[in-house]
Amino acid sequence: MNIMDRIDELCKKHNISKYRLSQITGISQSAFSKMARQQSTLSLETIQRICDAFGISLAQFFSDSGEYPDLTEQQKKLLQSWALLDEKKRDYALLMIEKMIDI
């Protein structure tokens, strides 16, 4: 798996430019350029920051299918729905879940 190809795929899927990804993750555009030219490698911490920006796990990042490995169908459905929410709706969903747990 080429990590930069995977990042490009995720950028297209989420309609995020590399410039915007750089802003979200705090990874400079020059660092992305070096990675693309394979002059630099990505640390696990860097990949995790990229995963956080896309709202995915490391397992999802490295999954060939881009799916949610090792999850039940119900968990997959929940995460697929989560991925469609914007940040404000995610915050609201988390608040609702936290309230349900407190009951």
What pLDDT is attached to residue 33?
A: 84
- Give tens-digit pLDDT for 65-77: 656 666 778 888 8
- Give tens-digit pLDDT for 33-51: 888 787 777 888 999 999 9
Look at the block and give the residue holding tokens 């169908």: 73
**Alpha-carbon dihedral of residues 42, 64, 56, 10, nearest 10 degrees?**
70
Name the pTM for this structure: 0.61
Contacts (Cβ under 8 Å, ≥6 apart) of 18: 7, 11, 29, 32
Q: How many CB atoms lie within 10 A of CB 4?
A: 15
What phi and psi, each to the nearest 5 degrees, are found at residue 65? -85, -15
Q: Does domain 1-69 have CATH number 3.30.420.40?
A: no
